[in-house]
């Protein structure tokens, strides 16, 4: 927009100073445009270099034997005469590299955190956008921002030191650190995400919708529940998807509060090991270039792909809500 | 539905959602109170100015403070020019419905969603092994000089991680500069870059600073990306060059919380470290909020 303005104003002149000036402008615009590629380049480099280190799983014979796809995803007989199991034990005389316990662990913590964070975040956003007096709302938003600003290592610390003891005393868990503790810690991290995105979607609903509904005799809650919430639904779903993606990728909280035991079980009271925490815990001691090292990068690729897909879905839904509302109203 | 029922349902819904909001605030208060209660008595000048001693059972956190500050300073130096110029491109230079601009936005959104641990892997694979290894080969070092975890690689990794924060908040700041200012400047015969340097960027400066502060607060608290790109468990000396490792408040918290041989003995140190880290990030966030509300008020008055 500004460029078209500049073009109409700067009439081409032939004096050497003017030409030099034009040349300089072009150079500056060029440099700025090149800089804009950095974001794209970063994203491409991330996937390329994480995938590159994982590539050995497919090309290197030793790695292919030690960590083949069947060993990663199918049950394996660890010892002769025992039933086949899913075991993650990459450092051992016979490495066992099943990813199933890690998937289960990630899903368990994510499930707990979503069960807590979605109702809290969405309800809180509905309150802030529809029911709260303006003063309260102005107070609520910075508070949530503050919660979003807490480093995850502090949330992990809080879950480890305070939540874990409290929950064990209250519910009598066998293991002090488990999926519930980690999931609740995780919920603290994703509530602000869900709240912020959902609140944005709700406030994007034009005032005319509300006024029309109220004019027809609906009460404020009927308006909120039957008009505003459905109108903002894709945005709220996007908020949940974003929260889900954050929960899958979050590392420090789970690393500190989950117990880090790769167990296959349905119980939420057992310790779990997540994909992200596995990378964090094992990358420090691994031999560079070994199958185990490639395996950890392979987990990184999985995490990248999961979150990439979730992000694309969420952003397309957010766009949908904006398009629907602005397109419909004006 | 009868009028009374409708009112009851409305009241119930209002209080239920209000309760959810209250619960969120309560959780924040709980964390704050716990950390304050556990750490307030132990944050002394000595704690802030002494290195840890007795296998981290005593002493302070000075090297971790120093390391965190140096790390975020380097990160800011790396991320600000790139982030600001990208935002300038998106808002000032990109033609409307430019394909490149659209791709940049998609990349920024996705970059913001990449898990922080994946940034750590990226730092290890790209900065340490590829760039660092390449530098070692090019300079003919026999031993690893650059191809090892260091404060440089950790801060560059964090710079990539905080890039979206800077881009988004700078763009918001540019949007707040009234279009009239640009047109007036161009009408007076200034070129686009002169307008940018003398009118647009100064006008957007508070917002750009907000972005920098937010990036610092985010970067200072991230631990996962620096786990294997440069943070060290314990170092007797402060980092002196770009390729030395460093201690870090967040990493120190992690180590004290999970790897201490005697958690009861280290508890006061742990709480005090967390309190310092928390106060640091809160102070930064508060500064960002203050700058932002001030500029909003000012640009609201201008119209």
- The candidate with the shortest Cα–Cα distance to B148, out of B160, B136, B161, is B136
Q: Is B88 on the interface with A (CB under 8 A)?
A: yes
Return the pLDDT at A148: 92
Contacts of B86 in chain A (CB under 8 A): 35-36, 38-39
Residues 189-218 of A with CB under 8 A from B: 191, 195
pLDDT above 90 covers a percentage of chain A that reads 59
pLDDT above 70 covers a percentage of chain A that reads 94
A3 band by pLDDT with thresholds 50, 70 and 90: low
Contacts of A304 in chain B (CB under 8 A): 114-115, 118
Tens digit of pLDDT for each residue in A187-240? 999 999 999 999 999 999 999 999 999 999 888 888 998 999 999 999 999 999
Return the pLDDT at B299: 65
Tens digit of pLDDT for each residue in B36-55? 999 988 888 988 988 888 77
Helix and strand numbers, DSSP H then E, in chain A: 17, 2
Return the pLDDT at B301: 62
Of B14, B113, B223, which is closest to A245 when you measure between CB atoms? B113
Q: B260 or A109: whose pLDDT is higher?
A: A109
Burial class (CB in 10 A: 0-12, 13-18, 19+), A64: middle
- HSE at residue B156, side-chain half, CA atoms within 13 A, is 19
Contacts of A151 in chain B (CB under 8 A): 220-223, 250, 277-278, 281
Among A67-71, A164-168, B11-15, which is the least confidently predicted range?
A: A67-71
Q: Is A305 on the interface with B (CB under 8 A)?
A: no
| Mean pLDDT of the A279-306 span | 92
Rounded to whole angstroms, how far apart are CA atoms B112 and B90?
A: 17
| Mean pLDDT of the A6-18 span | 66
A134 band by pLDDT with thresholds 50, 70 and 90: confident
With a cut of 70, list the residues of chain B below it in pLDDT. Answer: 1-2, 298-303
Contacts of A21 in chain B (CB under 8 A): 191
From residue B153, how far is each of A52, A263, A294 by CA, in Å?
A: 19, 35, 21
- CB contact under 8 Å between B117 and A276, yes or no, is yes
Q: Tell me how many degrees the CA angle B205-B209-B211 measures, rounded to the nearest 5.
A: 120
Q: Tell me how many degrees the CA angle A265-A271-A273 measures, rounded to the nearest 5.
A: 90
Return the pLDDT at A120: 96
Strands A96-97 and A88-89: antiparallel
A11 band by pLDDT with thresholds 50, 70 and 90: low
Of A128, A153, A296, which is closest to B223 when you measure between CB atoms? A153
Q: Is residue A329 scored above 50 in pLDDT?
A: no
Residues 172-191 of A with CB under 8 A from B: 188, 191
> Residue B180 CB: number of other CB atoms within 10 A?
10
Q: Is residue A31 scored above 90 in pLDDT?
A: yes
Return the pLDDT at B302: 57
Q: Is residue A65 scored above 90 in pLDDT?
A: no
Q: Is B36 on the interface with A (CB under 8 A)?
A: no
- CB contact under 8 Å between A131 and B14, yes or no, is yes
Return the pLDDT at A195: 96
Q: Is B114 on the interface with A (CB under 8 A)?
A: yes
Residues 83-102 of A with CB under 8 A from B: none
Return the pLDDT at A7: 56
């Amino acid at each position: 927009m500004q460029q078209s303005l500049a073009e109409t104003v700067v009439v081409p002149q032939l004096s050497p100073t003017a030409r030099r000036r034009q040349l300089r402008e072009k150079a500056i615009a060029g440099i700025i445009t090149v800089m804009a590629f950095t974001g794209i380049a970063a994203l491409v480099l991330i996937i390329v270099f994480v995938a590159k280190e994982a590539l050995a799983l497919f090309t290197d014979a030793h790695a292919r034997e030690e960590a083949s796809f069947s060993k990663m995803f199918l049950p394996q007989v660890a010892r002769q005469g025992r039933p086949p199991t899913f075991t993650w034990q990459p450092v051992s005389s016979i490495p066992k590299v099943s990813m199933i316990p890690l998937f289960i662990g990630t899903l368990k913590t994510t499930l707990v955190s979503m069960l807590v964070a979605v109702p809290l975040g969405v309800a809180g956003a509905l309150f802030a956008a529809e029911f709260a007096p303006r003063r309260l709302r102005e107070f609520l938003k910075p508070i949530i921002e503050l919660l979003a600003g807490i480093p995850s290592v502090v949330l992990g610390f809080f879950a480890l030191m305070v939540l874990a003891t409290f929950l064990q005393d209250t519910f009598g868990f066998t293991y002090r650190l488990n999926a519930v503790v980690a999931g609740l810690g995780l919920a603290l991290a994703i509530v602000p995400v869900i709240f912020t995105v959902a609140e944005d979607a709700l406030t994007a609903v034009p005032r005319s919708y509300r006024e029309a509904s109220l004019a027809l005799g609906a009460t404020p809650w009927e308006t909120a529940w039957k008009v505003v919430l459905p109108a903002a639904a894709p945005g709220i779903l996007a908020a949940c998807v974003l929260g889900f993606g954050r929960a899958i990728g979050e590392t420090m909280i789970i690393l500190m509060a989950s117990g880090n035991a790769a167990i296959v079980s349905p119980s939420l009271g057992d310790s779990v090991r997540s994909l992200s925490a596995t990378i964090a815990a094992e990358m420090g001691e691994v031999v560079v270039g070994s199958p185990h090292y490639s395996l950890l990068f392979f987990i990184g690729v999985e995490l990248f792909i999961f979150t990439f897909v979730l992000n694309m879905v969420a952003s397309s839904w957010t766009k949908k809500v904006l398009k629907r509302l602005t397109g419909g109203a004006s | 539905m009868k009028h009374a029922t409708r009112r009851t349902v409305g009241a119930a819904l209002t209080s239920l959602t209000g309760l959810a909001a209250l619960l969120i605030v309560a959780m924040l208060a709980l964390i704050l109170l716990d950390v304050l209660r556990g750490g307030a008595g132990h944050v002394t000048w000595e704690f802030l100015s002494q290195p840890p001693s007795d296998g981290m059972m005593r002493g302070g956190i000075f090297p971790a403070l120093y390391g965190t500050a140096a790390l975020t300073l380097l990160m800011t130096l790396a991320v600000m020019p790139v982030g600001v110029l990208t935002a300038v491109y998106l808002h000032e230079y990109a033609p409307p419905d430019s394909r490149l601009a659209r791709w940049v936005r998609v990349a920024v959104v996705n970059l913001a969603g990449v898990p922080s641990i994946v940034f750590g892997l990226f730092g290890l694979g790209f900065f340490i092994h590829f760039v660092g290894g390449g530098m070692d080969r090019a300079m003919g070092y026999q031993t690893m000089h650059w191809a090892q975890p260091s404060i440089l690689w950790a801060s560059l990794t964090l710079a990539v991680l905080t890039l979206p924060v800077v881009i988004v908040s700078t763009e918001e700041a540019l949007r707040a500069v009234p279009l009239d200012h640009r047109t007036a400047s161009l009408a007076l015969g200034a070129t686009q870059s002169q307008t940018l340097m003398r009118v647009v960027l100064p006008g957007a400066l508070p917002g750009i600073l907000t972005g920098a502060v937010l990036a610092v607060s985010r970067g200072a608290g991230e631990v996962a990306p620096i786990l294997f790109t440069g943070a060290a468990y314990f170092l007797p000396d402060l980092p002196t060059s770009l390729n030395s490792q460093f201690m870090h408040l967040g990493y120190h918290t992690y180590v004290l919380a999970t790897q201490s041989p005697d958690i009861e003995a280290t508890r006061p140190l742990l709480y005090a470290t967390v309190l310092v880290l928390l106060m640091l990030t809160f102070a930064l966030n508060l500064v960002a909020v203050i700058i932002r509300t001030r500029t909003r008020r000012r640009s609201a008055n201008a119209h």
